Structure 1
Amino acid sequence: MLRRPARIRHTSRAAAGLGAFLVTATVASSALASGPGGQTALATRGGTVVSIRAGHRTPFVIAHRGASRYAPENTLAAVDAAHARGLVWVENDVQRTKDGRLIVMHDTTLNRTTDAAKVFPHRAPWRVRDFTAAEIARLDAGRWFGKRFAGTRVPTLDAYLRRLDRNHQGLLLELKAPEQYPGIEAQTLRELRAHGWLDRAHLRGRLVIQSFCVRCVRRVHTLMPRVRTGILGRPPLSRLRRYARFADQINPRMSEVSSRWARAVHRLRGAHGRRLEIYAWDVGTDASVRAVRARAVEGVID
Protein backbone atom coordinates (compact mmCIF):
# COMPACT_ATOMS: atom_id res chain seq x y z
CA MET A 1 0.00 0.00 0.00
CA LEU A 2 1.31 3.47 -0.84
CA ARG A 3 0.93 6.19 1.73
CA ARG A 4 -0.72 9.51 0.98
CA PRO A 5 0.85 10.95 -2.20
CA ALA A 6 3.10 13.95 -2.33
CA ARG A 7 4.76 15.87 -5.10
CA ILE A 8 7.87 17.69 -6.15
CA ARG A 9 7.68 20.88 -8.19
CA HIS A 10 6.76 20.34 -11.81
CA THR A 11 9.69 20.33 -14.20
CA SER A 12 7.40 22.14 -16.64
CA ARG A 13 4.40 24.40 -16.12
CA ALA A 14 2.91 23.33 -19.40
CA ALA A 15 1.22 20.24 -18.02
CA ALA A 16 -2.41 21.02 -18.75
CA GLY A 17 -3.81 17.54 -19.37
CA LEU A 18 -3.00 14.36 -17.51
CA GLY A 19 -1.01 13.00 -20.44
CA ALA A 20 1.32 15.97 -20.25
CA PHE A 21 1.35 15.84 -16.49
CA LEU A 22 2.59 12.28 -16.49
CA VAL A 23 5.73 13.07 -18.39
CA THR A 24 6.54 16.64 -17.36
CA ALA A 25 5.91 16.45 -13.64
CA THR A 26 8.56 15.14 -11.30
CA VAL A 27 6.40 12.96 -9.07
CA ALA A 28 7.32 11.14 -5.89
CA SER A 29 5.63 9.27 -3.05
CA SER A 30 5.92 9.65 0.69
CA ALA A 31 5.84 5.86 0.82
CA LEU A 32 9.54 5.58 0.08
CA ALA A 33 11.06 6.90 3.30
CA SER A 34 9.32 8.96 5.95
CA GLY A 35 11.35 11.59 7.75
CA PRO A 36 10.62 13.95 10.66
CA GLY A 37 8.10 16.76 10.42
CA GLY A 38 6.23 15.39 7.42
CA GLN A 39 9.34 15.47 5.25
CA THR A 40 10.27 12.60 2.99
CA ALA A 41 13.66 11.71 1.56
CA LEU A 42 13.35 10.38 -1.97
CA ALA A 43 15.65 9.27 -4.74
CA THR A 44 14.66 10.95 -7.99
CA ARG A 45 16.28 11.65 -11.34
CA GLY A 46 19.98 10.96 -11.36
CA GLY A 47 19.82 9.46 -7.88
CA THR A 48 19.59 12.91 -6.28
CA VAL A 49 17.98 12.78 -2.86
CA VAL A 50 15.46 15.56 -2.26
CA SER A 51 12.97 16.40 0.44
CA ILE A 52 9.31 16.94 -0.28
CA ARG A 53 6.40 18.07 1.83
CA ALA A 54 3.69 15.49 2.44
CA GLY A 55 -0.02 16.14 2.26
CA HIS A 56 -0.58 17.51 -1.25
CA ARG A 57 -3.57 16.15 -3.11
CA THR A 58 -1.96 16.00 -6.52
CA PRO A 59 -2.65 12.51 -7.93
CA PHE A 60 0.35 10.23 -7.57
CA VAL A 61 1.52 8.74 -10.86
CA ILE A 62 2.79 5.21 -11.42
CA ALA A 63 4.35 4.63 -14.84
CA HIS A 64 2.20 2.00 -16.56
CA ARG A 65 4.47 -0.70 -18.05
CA GLY A 66 7.22 1.86 -17.53
CA ALA A 67 7.08 5.13 -19.45
CA SER A 68 5.34 3.29 -22.26
CA ARG A 69 4.55 6.44 -24.25
CA TYR A 70 8.27 7.01 -24.68
CA ALA A 71 9.79 3.54 -24.89
CA PRO A 72 8.61 -0.02 -25.61
CA GLU A 73 6.35 -1.18 -22.80
CA ASN A 74 7.68 -3.44 -20.05
CA THR A 75 11.30 -3.12 -21.18
CA LEU A 76 14.33 -1.78 -19.37
CA ALA A 77 14.20 1.16 -21.77
CA ALA A 78 10.73 1.99 -20.43
CA VAL A 79 12.02 1.77 -16.85
CA ASP A 80 14.82 4.18 -17.71
CA ALA A 81 12.43 6.51 -19.55
CA ALA A 82 10.29 6.71 -16.42
CA HIS A 83 13.37 7.39 -14.31
CA ALA A 84 14.53 10.13 -16.68
CA ARG A 85 11.17 11.85 -16.20
CA GLY A 86 11.32 11.65 -12.43
CA LEU A 87 8.72 8.89 -12.06
CA VAL A 88 9.81 6.86 -9.07
CA TRP A 89 7.26 4.03 -9.36
CA VAL A 90 6.64 1.75 -12.32
CA GLU A 91 4.08 -0.96 -12.98
CA ASN A 92 4.87 -4.18 -14.81
CA ASP A 93 3.42 -7.60 -15.68
CA VAL A 94 5.06 -10.91 -14.80
CA GLN A 95 4.59 -14.26 -16.57
CA ARG A 96 6.46 -17.57 -16.75
CA THR A 97 8.24 -19.21 -19.67
CA LYS A 98 8.03 -22.85 -20.71
CA ASP A 99 11.19 -23.65 -18.77
CA GLY A 100 10.10 -21.85 -15.62
CA ARG A 101 11.74 -18.43 -15.86
CA LEU A 102 9.87 -15.28 -14.88
CA ILE A 103 9.77 -12.57 -17.53
CA VAL A 104 8.15 -9.16 -17.85
CA MET A 105 5.46 -9.15 -20.55
CA HIS A 106 1.91 -7.82 -20.68
CA ASP A 107 0.22 -9.97 -23.31
CA THR A 108 -0.02 -13.72 -22.85
CA THR A 109 1.15 -13.94 -26.48
CA LEU A 110 4.38 -12.56 -27.91
CA ASN A 111 3.41 -11.35 -31.36
CA ARG A 112 2.13 -7.83 -30.60
CA THR A 113 5.28 -6.46 -28.99
CA THR A 114 7.99 -8.69 -30.44
CA ASP A 115 8.97 -10.19 -33.79
CA ALA A 116 8.01 -13.70 -32.65
CA ALA A 117 5.88 -14.27 -35.76
CA LYS A 118 8.93 -13.58 -37.93
CA VAL A 119 11.47 -15.52 -35.88
CA PHE A 120 9.15 -18.46 -35.18
CA PRO A 121 6.63 -18.36 -38.06
CA HIS A 122 5.22 -21.82 -37.44
CA ARG A 123 4.52 -21.50 -33.72
CA ALA A 124 1.30 -19.50 -33.63
CA PRO A 125 -0.37 -18.33 -31.43
CA TRP A 126 3.03 -17.55 -29.86
CA ARG A 127 1.96 -17.97 -26.23
CA VAL A 128 4.53 -16.94 -23.64
CA ARG A 129 4.14 -20.26 -21.82
CA ASP A 130 5.09 -22.21 -24.97
CA PHE A 131 8.54 -20.61 -25.35
CA THR A 132 11.71 -21.04 -23.34
CA ALA A 133 13.51 -18.09 -21.83
CA ALA A 134 16.35 -18.57 -24.33
CA GLU A 135 13.92 -18.41 -27.24
CA ILE A 136 12.26 -15.28 -25.91
CA ALA A 137 15.68 -13.71 -25.40
CA ARG A 138 16.20 -13.89 -29.18
CA LEU A 139 13.19 -11.69 -29.89
CA ASP A 140 13.26 -7.99 -30.74
CA ALA A 141 10.88 -6.24 -28.34
CA GLY A 142 11.60 -2.70 -29.47
CA ARG A 143 11.54 -2.25 -33.24
CA TRP A 144 7.72 -2.22 -33.34
CA PHE A 145 7.87 0.96 -31.24
CA GLY A 146 10.57 2.72 -33.23
CA LYS A 147 13.79 2.06 -35.08
CA ARG A 148 15.96 3.49 -32.35
CA PHE A 149 14.71 0.76 -30.01
CA ALA A 150 15.58 -2.08 -32.38
CA GLY A 151 17.30 -4.88 -30.51
CA THR A 152 15.57 -4.19 -27.21
CA ARG A 153 14.89 -7.47 -25.42
CA VAL A 154 12.13 -8.85 -23.24
CA PRO A 155 13.56 -8.56 -19.73
CA THR A 156 13.61 -11.30 -17.16
CA LEU A 157 12.22 -10.32 -13.78
CA ASP A 158 15.77 -10.73 -12.50
CA ALA A 159 17.10 -8.02 -14.85
CA TYR A 160 14.08 -5.82 -14.21
CA LEU A 161 14.57 -5.81 -10.45
CA ARG A 162 18.25 -5.00 -10.84
CA ARG A 163 17.41 -1.99 -13.01
CA LEU A 164 14.81 -0.72 -10.56
CA ASP A 165 17.31 -0.95 -7.73
CA ARG A 166 19.87 0.92 -9.80
CA ASN A 167 17.32 3.66 -10.42
CA HIS A 168 15.92 3.64 -6.85
CA GLN A 169 12.41 3.02 -8.16
CA GLY A 170 9.43 1.28 -6.63
CA LEU A 171 7.45 -1.52 -8.28
CA LEU A 172 3.76 -2.25 -8.67
CA LEU A 173 4.03 -5.84 -9.88
CA GLU A 174 1.08 -7.49 -11.58
CA LEU A 175 0.76 -11.25 -11.68
CA LYS A 176 -0.52 -11.56 -15.24
CA ALA A 177 -2.94 -14.42 -16.04
CA PRO A 178 -1.79 -16.41 -12.98
CA GLU A 179 -4.30 -19.15 -13.75
CA GLN A 180 -1.95 -20.17 -16.58
CA TYR A 181 1.02 -20.44 -14.24
CA PRO A 182 0.27 -22.55 -11.15
CA GLY A 183 2.47 -21.56 -8.23
CA ILE A 184 3.59 -18.25 -9.73
CA GLU A 185 2.74 -16.42 -6.51
CA ALA A 186 5.29 -18.38 -4.47
CA GLN A 187 7.83 -18.32 -7.29
CA THR A 188 7.57 -14.55 -7.62
CA LEU A 189 8.05 -14.11 -3.90
CA ARG A 190 11.12 -16.38 -4.00
CA GLU A 191 12.67 -14.28 -6.75
CA LEU A 192 11.87 -11.06 -4.96
CA ARG A 193 13.51 -12.46 -1.82
CA ALA A 194 16.59 -13.56 -3.78
CA HIS A 195 17.08 -9.96 -4.94
CA GLY A 196 16.53 -8.40 -1.52
CA TRP A 197 13.08 -7.07 -2.35
CA LEU A 198 11.46 -8.58 0.74
CA ASP A 199 13.62 -6.67 3.17
CA ARG A 200 12.20 -3.97 5.44
CA ALA A 201 12.98 -1.03 3.14
CA HIS A 202 11.39 -2.55 0.05
CA LEU A 203 8.36 -3.84 1.91
CA ARG A 204 7.70 -0.51 3.60
CA GLY A 205 7.79 1.62 0.51
CA ARG A 206 8.94 0.08 -2.76
CA LEU A 207 6.76 -2.93 -3.53
CA VAL A 208 3.09 -3.73 -4.13
CA ILE A 209 1.84 -6.93 -5.79
CA GLN A 210 -1.50 -6.83 -7.58
CA SER A 211 -3.68 -9.04 -9.76
CA PHE A 212 -7.15 -9.40 -11.21
CA CYS A 213 -7.14 -12.83 -9.55
CA VAL A 214 -8.49 -12.24 -6.06
CA ARG A 215 -7.53 -15.68 -4.75
CA CYS A 216 -3.98 -15.08 -6.01
CA VAL A 217 -3.77 -11.80 -4.11
CA ARG A 218 -5.02 -13.62 -1.03
CA ARG A 219 -2.38 -16.31 -1.57
CA VAL A 220 0.39 -13.72 -1.74
CA HIS A 221 -0.85 -12.25 1.53
CA THR A 222 -0.96 -15.71 3.13
CA LEU A 223 2.56 -16.59 1.98
CA MET A 224 4.08 -13.21 2.87
CA PRO A 225 1.73 -11.11 5.02
CA ARG A 226 4.06 -8.13 5.10
CA VAL A 227 3.82 -7.57 1.33
CA ARG A 228 1.37 -4.86 0.30
CA THR A 229 -1.18 -6.08 -2.21
CA GLY A 230 -3.78 -4.70 -4.60
CA ILE A 231 -6.86 -6.11 -6.30
CA LEU A 232 -7.38 -5.00 -9.89
CA GLY A 233 -10.90 -4.21 -11.02
CA ARG A 234 -13.98 -2.81 -9.33
CA PRO A 235 -15.41 -5.35 -6.88
CA PRO A 236 -18.97 -4.80 -5.67
CA LEU A 237 -19.47 -3.01 -2.38
CA SER A 238 -20.60 -6.24 -0.75
CA ARG A 239 -17.14 -7.78 -1.14
CA LEU A 240 -14.97 -4.86 -0.07
CA ARG A 241 -14.87 -5.65 3.64
CA ARG A 242 -13.77 -9.23 2.95
CA TYR A 243 -11.12 -8.13 0.47
CA ALA A 244 -9.74 -5.56 2.90
CA ARG A 245 -8.53 -8.43 5.07
CA PHE A 246 -5.77 -9.25 2.60
CA ALA A 247 -5.47 -6.22 0.31
CA ASP A 248 -4.23 -2.65 0.69
CA GLN A 249 -5.40 -1.24 -2.63
CA ILE A 250 -8.42 -1.59 -4.93
CA ASN A 251 -7.32 -0.57 -8.45
CA PRO A 252 -10.15 -0.17 -10.97
CA ARG A 253 -10.54 1.33 -14.42
CA MET A 254 -11.02 5.09 -14.01
CA SER A 255 -14.41 5.05 -15.76
CA GLU A 256 -15.66 2.60 -13.12
CA VAL A 257 -14.92 4.88 -10.17
CA SER A 258 -17.96 6.64 -8.70
CA SER A 259 -17.86 8.91 -5.68
CA ARG A 260 -20.12 6.54 -3.71
CA TRP A 261 -17.93 3.55 -4.46
CA ALA A 262 -14.73 5.48 -3.65
CA ARG A 263 -16.15 6.59 -0.30
CA ALA A 264 -17.02 2.99 0.53
CA VAL A 265 -13.46 1.88 -0.26
CA HIS A 266 -11.94 4.66 1.81
CA ARG A 267 -14.07 3.85 4.85
CA LEU A 268 -12.24 0.53 5.19
CA ARG A 269 -8.78 -0.25 6.48
CA GLY A 270 -6.65 -2.65 4.52
CA ALA A 271 -4.49 -5.58 5.54
CA HIS A 272 -1.81 -3.36 7.07
CA GLY A 273 -4.13 -1.14 9.07
CA ARG A 274 -4.20 1.87 6.75
CA ARG A 275 -7.09 3.22 4.77
CA LEU A 276 -7.73 1.27 1.58
CA GLU A 277 -6.37 3.17 -1.40
CA ILE A 278 -7.48 3.48 -5.01
CA TYR A 279 -5.08 3.62 -7.96
CA ALA A 280 -7.01 3.95 -11.20
CA TRP A 281 -5.90 2.94 -14.70
CA ASP A 282 -7.07 3.58 -18.25
CA VAL A 283 -7.35 7.25 -17.41
CA GLY A 284 -7.32 8.69 -20.94
CA THR A 285 -4.94 11.24 -22.39
CA ASP A 286 -7.44 14.10 -22.27
CA ALA A 287 -8.19 13.86 -18.55
CA SER A 288 -7.07 16.80 -16.43
CA VAL A 289 -5.39 16.55 -13.06
CA ARG A 290 -8.41 18.33 -11.57
CA ALA A 291 -10.77 15.74 -13.04
CA VAL A 292 -8.67 12.89 -11.67
CA ARG A 293 -8.55 14.52 -8.25
CA ALA A 294 -12.33 14.89 -8.28
CA ARG A 295 -12.65 11.10 -8.46
CA ALA A 296 -11.06 10.89 -4.99
CA VAL A 297 -8.37 8.44 -6.05
CA GLU A 298 -4.91 8.44 -4.53
CA GLY A 299 -3.26 8.12 -7.90
CA VAL A 300 -3.20 6.77 -11.41
CA ILE A 301 -1.42 3.97 -13.21
CA ASP A 302 -0.71 5.53 -16.58
Structure 2
Amino acid sequence: MNHIDKGAAIREVRWQAHQNSNSEAPENTMTSIQYAWDLGGIPEIDIRQTADGIIVGFHDATPKRTTTAPEAYQDTDISELTYAQLHQWDAGVKFGQRFQGEKVPALEQVLVLLANHPEREVYLDYKQVDLTKLAELLHRYKVEEQIIFAHNDHENCKTIKRLVPEIRTMLWIPGRVPETTVQKVASVRETGFDSLDIIQLHLVDAEEKGTWRYRLERSFVQETYQQLKDAGLELEVLPYGFDRDDLFDLLHMGIRRYAIDEPKVFTNTLQLYANS
Protein backbone atom coordinates (compact mmCIF):
# COMPACT_ATOMS: atom_id res chain seq x y z
CA MET A 1 0.00 0.00 0.00
CA ASN A 2 1.30 3.44 -0.87
CA HIS A 3 2.20 5.74 1.99
CA ILE A 4 -0.74 7.89 3.09
CA ASP A 5 -0.23 11.29 4.70
CA LYS A 6 -2.94 10.80 7.32
CA GLY A 7 -2.85 14.37 8.52
CA ALA A 8 -3.48 15.62 4.99
CA ALA A 9 -6.20 13.01 4.52
CA ILE A 10 -8.05 14.19 7.62
CA ARG A 11 -7.86 17.81 6.49
CA GLU A 12 -9.50 16.78 3.21
CA VAL A 13 -12.45 15.04 4.87
CA ARG A 14 -15.87 16.69 4.56
CA TRP A 15 -18.80 15.27 6.47
CA GLN A 16 -22.53 15.78 6.62
CA ALA A 17 -24.40 15.61 9.93
CA HIS A 18 -27.26 13.37 8.82
CA GLN A 19 -30.36 14.79 10.48
CA ASN A 20 -33.27 12.43 10.90
CA SER A 21 -31.17 9.75 12.61
CA ASN A 22 -28.72 12.05 14.37
CA SER A 23 -28.26 10.57 17.83
CA GLU A 24 -26.50 13.57 19.41
CA ALA A 25 -28.84 16.56 18.88
CA PRO A 26 -32.52 17.08 18.04
CA GLU A 27 -32.89 16.93 14.27
CA ASN A 28 -33.61 19.97 12.10
CA THR A 29 -33.14 22.50 14.88
CA MET A 30 -30.81 25.46 15.15
CA THR A 31 -29.01 23.57 17.92
CA SER A 32 -28.23 20.59 15.67
CA ILE A 33 -27.14 22.91 12.88
CA GLN A 34 -24.74 24.83 15.12
CA TYR A 35 -23.56 21.57 16.69
CA ALA A 36 -22.41 20.27 13.30
CA TRP A 37 -20.65 23.53 12.45
CA ASP A 38 -18.91 23.57 15.84
CA LEU A 39 -17.54 20.06 15.22
CA GLY A 40 -16.25 21.07 11.80
CA GLY A 41 -19.01 19.37 9.81
CA ILE A 42 -21.77 20.39 7.44
CA PRO A 43 -25.33 20.26 8.79
CA GLU A 44 -28.12 18.75 6.74
CA ILE A 45 -31.56 20.32 6.75
CA ASP A 46 -34.59 18.47 5.44
CA ILE A 47 -36.77 21.02 3.67
CA ARG A 48 -40.54 21.24 3.45
CA GLN A 49 -42.95 24.08 2.78
CA THR A 50 -45.82 25.21 4.98
CA ALA A 51 -49.31 26.19 3.85
CA ASP A 52 -48.30 29.85 3.81
CA GLY A 53 -45.19 29.19 1.69
CA ILE A 54 -42.46 29.21 4.35
CA ILE A 55 -39.65 26.71 3.75
CA VAL A 56 -38.79 25.01 7.03
CA GLY A 57 -36.40 22.38 8.34
CA PHE A 58 -38.51 19.27 8.81
CA HIS A 59 -38.01 15.62 7.89
CA ASP A 60 -41.38 13.90 8.33
CA ALA A 61 -44.59 14.72 6.47
CA THR A 62 -46.35 15.33 9.80
CA PRO A 63 -45.32 16.88 13.15
CA LYS A 64 -46.20 13.81 15.24
CA ARG A 65 -42.78 12.22 15.82
CA THR A 66 -40.58 15.20 16.66
CA THR A 67 -42.80 17.96 18.08
CA THR A 68 -45.32 18.54 20.87
CA ALA A 69 -48.14 19.16 18.37
CA PRO A 70 -51.57 18.58 19.96
CA GLU A 71 -53.22 15.30 19.02
CA ALA A 72 -55.61 17.05 16.66
CA TYR A 73 -52.66 18.16 14.49
CA GLN A 74 -50.25 15.24 14.86
CA ASP A 75 -51.22 13.61 11.58
CA THR A 76 -51.68 16.82 9.60
CA ASP A 77 -49.32 17.28 6.66
CA ILE A 78 -46.76 20.05 7.12
CA SER A 79 -47.99 21.55 3.84
CA GLU A 80 -51.40 22.07 5.48
CA LEU A 81 -50.04 23.88 8.54
CA THR A 82 -49.04 27.52 8.71
CA TYR A 83 -45.58 28.46 9.91
CA ALA A 84 -47.11 30.15 12.97
CA GLN A 85 -48.83 26.89 13.93
CA LEU A 86 -45.69 24.81 13.46
CA HIS A 87 -43.50 27.32 15.28
CA GLN A 88 -45.58 27.27 18.46
CA TRP A 89 -44.74 23.61 19.17
CA ASP A 90 -41.57 22.39 20.88
CA ALA A 91 -39.16 20.58 18.53
CA GLY A 92 -36.50 19.62 21.06
CA VAL A 93 -38.00 18.29 24.26
CA LYS A 94 -38.85 14.85 22.83
CA PHE A 95 -35.16 14.36 22.13
CA GLY A 96 -34.14 15.43 25.64
CA GLN A 97 -35.31 17.71 28.41
CA ARG A 98 -32.28 19.98 28.06
CA PHE A 99 -33.40 20.84 24.51
CA GLN A 100 -36.80 22.09 25.62
CA GLY A 101 -37.73 25.29 23.82
CA GLU A 102 -36.23 24.41 20.44
CA LYS A 103 -38.43 25.45 17.54
CA VAL A 104 -38.81 24.32 13.94
CA PRO A 105 -36.55 26.74 12.04
CA ALA A 106 -37.43 28.61 8.89
CA LEU A 107 -34.78 28.10 6.23
CA GLU A 108 -34.25 31.87 6.14
CA GLN A 109 -32.87 31.72 9.70
CA VAL A 110 -30.12 29.42 8.47
CA LEU A 111 -29.44 31.42 5.32
CA VAL A 112 -28.89 34.58 7.38
CA LEU A 113 -26.14 32.75 9.27
CA LEU A 114 -24.64 31.42 6.03
CA ALA A 115 -24.57 34.89 4.51
CA ASN A 116 -22.56 36.12 7.51
CA HIS A 117 -20.21 33.12 7.47
CA PRO A 118 -19.06 32.41 3.90
CA GLU A 119 -16.85 29.55 5.15
CA ARG A 120 -19.91 27.53 6.22
CA GLU A 121 -21.97 25.13 4.12
CA VAL A 122 -25.33 23.38 4.40
CA TYR A 123 -26.91 20.33 2.79
CA LEU A 124 -30.56 20.80 1.82
CA ASP A 125 -32.33 17.45 1.57
CA TYR A 126 -35.40 17.96 -0.62
CA LYS A 127 -38.67 16.65 0.80
CA GLN A 128 -41.44 18.94 -0.47
CA VAL A 129 -40.78 22.48 -1.66
CA ASP A 130 -41.31 24.67 -4.69
CA LEU A 131 -37.87 24.64 -6.30
CA THR A 132 -38.42 28.03 -7.93
CA LYS A 133 -39.17 29.53 -4.53
CA LEU A 134 -36.10 27.83 -3.07
CA ALA A 135 -33.95 29.25 -5.86
CA GLU A 136 -35.29 32.76 -5.24
CA LEU A 137 -34.45 32.46 -1.55
CA LEU A 138 -30.88 31.32 -2.22
CA HIS A 139 -30.35 34.15 -4.70
CA ARG A 140 -31.73 36.69 -2.24
CA TYR A 141 -29.15 35.80 0.41
CA LYS A 142 -26.36 35.18 -2.14
CA VAL A 143 -25.44 31.80 -0.61
CA GLU A 144 -25.72 29.68 -3.73
CA GLU A 145 -22.15 28.37 -3.55
CA GLN A 146 -22.57 27.35 0.10
CA ILE A 147 -25.44 24.96 -0.63
CA ILE A 148 -25.39 21.25 -1.46
CA PHE A 149 -28.82 20.18 -2.74
CA ALA A 150 -29.57 16.51 -2.05
CA HIS A 151 -32.25 14.21 -3.43
CA ASN A 152 -32.73 10.72 -4.83
CA ASP A 153 -34.47 11.95 -8.00
CA HIS A 154 -32.00 12.95 -10.70
CA GLU A 155 -34.61 15.19 -12.35
CA ASN A 156 -34.88 17.39 -9.27
CA CYS A 157 -31.10 17.77 -9.23
CA LYS A 158 -31.21 18.84 -12.88
CA THR A 159 -34.01 21.33 -12.20
CA ILE A 160 -32.29 23.08 -9.29
CA LYS A 161 -29.02 23.20 -11.25
CA ARG A 162 -30.81 25.07 -14.05
CA LEU A 163 -32.34 27.48 -11.56
CA VAL A 164 -29.16 27.91 -9.49
CA PRO A 165 -26.10 27.06 -11.62
CA GLU A 166 -23.69 27.81 -8.76
CA ILE A 167 -25.26 25.24 -6.44
CA ARG A 168 -23.75 21.79 -5.90
CA THR A 169 -26.04 18.81 -6.29
CA MET A 170 -25.88 15.39 -4.69
CA LEU A 171 -27.85 12.35 -5.84
CA TRP A 172 -28.27 9.88 -3.00
CA ILE A 173 -28.72 6.21 -3.84
CA PRO A 174 -29.97 3.63 -1.30
CA GLY A 175 -27.90 0.50 -0.75
CA ARG A 176 -30.29 -2.09 0.63
CA VAL A 177 -30.61 -3.90 -2.71
CA PRO A 178 -27.14 -3.91 -4.29
CA GLU A 179 -28.37 -4.87 -7.77
CA THR A 180 -30.67 -1.84 -7.85
CA THR A 181 -27.86 0.44 -6.67
CA VAL A 182 -25.51 -0.85 -9.38
CA GLN A 183 -28.20 -0.28 -12.04
CA LYS A 184 -28.91 3.25 -10.76
CA VAL A 185 -25.26 4.25 -10.85
CA ALA A 186 -24.90 2.83 -14.37
CA SER A 187 -27.98 4.74 -15.52
CA VAL A 188 -26.69 8.03 -14.13
CA ARG A 189 -23.24 7.41 -15.60
CA GLU A 190 -24.83 7.06 -19.05
CA THR A 191 -26.03 10.68 -18.75
CA GLY A 192 -22.46 11.82 -18.12
CA PHE A 193 -23.51 12.50 -14.52
CA ASP A 194 -25.61 15.36 -15.88
CA SER A 195 -25.95 18.31 -13.44
CA LEU A 196 -24.36 16.35 -10.57
CA ASP A 197 -21.41 17.14 -8.34
CA ILE A 198 -21.64 14.36 -5.76
CA ILE A 199 -23.15 10.87 -5.61
CA GLN A 200 -23.91 9.39 -2.21
CA LEU A 201 -24.00 5.63 -1.68
CA HIS A 202 -25.72 4.20 1.38
CA LEU A 203 -23.59 1.55 3.04
CA VAL A 204 -26.00 -0.86 4.73
CA ASP A 205 -24.61 -3.71 6.81
CA ALA A 206 -24.51 -7.11 5.13
CA GLU A 207 -26.52 -9.85 6.76
CA GLU A 208 -23.30 -11.67 7.55
CA LYS A 209 -20.33 -9.50 8.40
CA GLY A 210 -17.00 -10.47 6.88
CA THR A 211 -13.79 -8.54 6.35
CA TRP A 212 -15.93 -6.02 4.40
CA ARG A 213 -18.94 -4.93 6.43
CA TYR A 214 -21.44 -3.76 3.81
CA ARG A 215 -23.91 -5.14 1.27
CA LEU A 216 -22.45 -3.20 -1.62
CA GLU A 217 -19.29 -4.95 -2.73
CA ARG A 218 -16.05 -3.24 -1.86
CA SER A 219 -14.91 -3.44 -5.48
CA PHE A 220 -18.07 -1.61 -6.63
CA VAL A 221 -17.59 1.20 -4.10
CA GLN A 222 -13.94 1.53 -5.12
CA GLU A 223 -14.80 1.49 -8.83
CA THR A 224 -17.53 4.12 -8.38
CA TYR A 225 -15.14 6.32 -6.41
CA GLN A 226 -12.59 6.16 -9.23
CA GLN A 227 -15.16 6.79 -11.97
CA LEU A 228 -16.46 9.86 -10.18
CA LYS A 229 -12.96 11.14 -9.47
CA ASP A 230 -12.04 10.75 -13.15
CA ALA A 231 -15.17 12.73 -14.05
CA GLY A 232 -14.33 15.51 -11.60
CA LEU A 233 -17.06 14.49 -9.16
CA GLU A 234 -17.02 13.23 -5.59
CA LEU A 235 -18.27 10.07 -3.92
CA GLU A 236 -19.93 10.45 -0.54
CA VAL A 237 -20.78 7.43 1.58
CA LEU A 238 -23.35 7.07 4.35
CA PRO A 239 -22.23 4.14 6.53
CA TYR A 240 -25.18 3.21 8.74
CA GLY A 241 -22.73 1.48 11.02
CA PHE A 242 -18.97 1.62 11.32
CA ASP A 243 -16.18 0.87 13.72
CA ARG A 244 -12.57 1.97 13.70
CA ASP A 245 -11.43 -0.55 11.09
CA ASP A 246 -14.39 0.09 8.78
CA LEU A 247 -13.72 3.84 8.69
CA PHE A 248 -9.99 3.33 8.28
CA ASP A 249 -10.69 1.08 5.29
CA LEU A 250 -12.88 3.72 3.62
CA LEU A 251 -10.27 6.39 4.22
CA HIS A 252 -7.55 4.15 2.75
CA MET A 253 -9.72 3.79 -0.37
CA GLY A 254 -9.48 7.55 -0.81
CA ILE A 255 -13.03 8.47 0.17
CA ARG A 256 -13.07 11.93 1.71
CA ARG A 257 -16.79 12.75 1.96
CA TYR A 258 -19.15 11.14 4.48
CA ALA A 259 -22.66 11.40 5.89
CA ILE A 260 -22.75 10.54 9.59
CA ASP A 261 -25.39 9.80 12.23
CA GLU A 262 -22.99 10.12 15.18
CA PRO A 263 -20.82 13.19 14.54
CA LYS A 264 -18.82 13.01 17.77
CA VAL A 265 -18.06 9.31 17.32
CA PHE A 266 -16.97 10.03 13.76
CA THR A 267 -14.68 12.93 14.62
CA ASN A 268 -13.11 10.93 17.46
CA THR A 269 -12.43 8.06 15.05
CA LEU A 270 -10.89 10.47 12.55
CA GLN A 271 -8.53 11.61 15.27
CA LEU A 272 -7.58 7.99 15.95
CA TYR A 273 -6.79 7.63 12.26
CA ALA A 274 -4.59 10.71 12.30
CA ASN A 275 -2.71 9.40 15.33
CA SER A 276 -2.42 5.77 14.22
TM-score, length of structure 1 as denominator length? 0.68
Aligned residue among 55, 78, 83 for 1:133: 83
| Separation (CA, whole Å) in 1 of partners of 2:20 and 2:78 | 20
Query: Does 2:149 align with 1:209?
Result: yes
Identity %: 22
- Alignment-derived partner of residue 258 in structure 2: 300
Deviation readout 1:93-145 (Å, 9 max, x if unpaired): 111111111000111221111011xx2x2234232111111100101000001
| Separation (CA, whole Å) in 2 of partners of 1:74 and 1:157 | 10
How far is the alpha carbon of 1:285 from its aligned partner? Answer: 5.2
Aligned residue among 52, 60, 72 for 1:122: 72
- Alignment-derived partner of residue 192 in structure 1: 138
Give the direction of change, closer, same or farther, for the CA distance of 1:129–1:251 in structure 2 (3 Å limit): same
Equivalent residue letter for 2:142: G
Aligned residue among 37, 41, 57 for 1:83: 37
Matches within 5 A, 1:250-265: 250-255=199-204, 257-265=216-224
TM-score, length of structure 2 as denominator length? 0.74
| Separation (CA, whole Å) in 2 of partners of 1:124 and 1:140 | 13
- Alignment-derived partner of residue 124 in structure 2: 173
| Separation (CA, whole Å) in 1 of partners of 2:217 and 2:12 | 19
Query: Does 2:23 align with 1:72?
Result: no
Aligned residue among 62, 65, 70 for 2:16: 62
Deviation readout 1:214-266 (Å, 9 max, x if unpaired): 21111111222232111011423243231612101111212354334334434
Give the direction of change, closer, same or farther, for the CA distance of 1:83–1:227 in structure 2 (3 Å limit): closer
- Alignment-derived partner of residue 22 in structure 1: none
Contact 1:259–1:295, Cα closer than 8 Å, also in 2: no
Deviation readout 1:34-78 (Å, 9 max, x if unpaired): xxxxxxxxxxxxxxxxxxxx5558743222229943321111011
User: Where do 5+ consecutive residues of structure 2 fail to align?
Assistant: 174-180, 205-214, 261-276
Contact 1:175–1:210, Cα closer than 8 Å, also in 2: yes
- Alignment-derived partner of residue 159 in structure 2: 219
Contact 1:221–1:229, Cα closer than 8 Å, also in 2: yes
Query: Does 2:200 align with 1:231?
Result: no
Contact 1:57–1:293, Cα closer than 8 Å, also in 2: no
Contact 2:18–2:259, Cα closer than 8 Å, also in 1: yes
Aligned residue among 237, 242, 249 for 1:291: 249
| Separation (CA, whole Å) in 2 of partners of 1:151 and 1:164 | 23
SS at match of 1:148: helix
- Alignment-derived partner of residue 98 in structure 2: 148
Question: After alignment, is 229-238 or 257-266 more displaced?
Answer: 257-266
Query: Does 2:197 align with 1:248?
Result: yes
How far is the alpha carbon of 1:269 from its aligned partner? Answer: 5.5
Deviation readout 1:256-300 (Å, 9 max, x if unpaired): 543343344345458xx9522111224325454213325653321
| Separation (CA, whole Å) in 2 of partners of 1:243 and 1:211 | 18
- Alignment-derived partner of residue 29 in structure 1: none
| Separation (CA, whole Å) in 2 of partners of 1:297 and 1:216 | 25
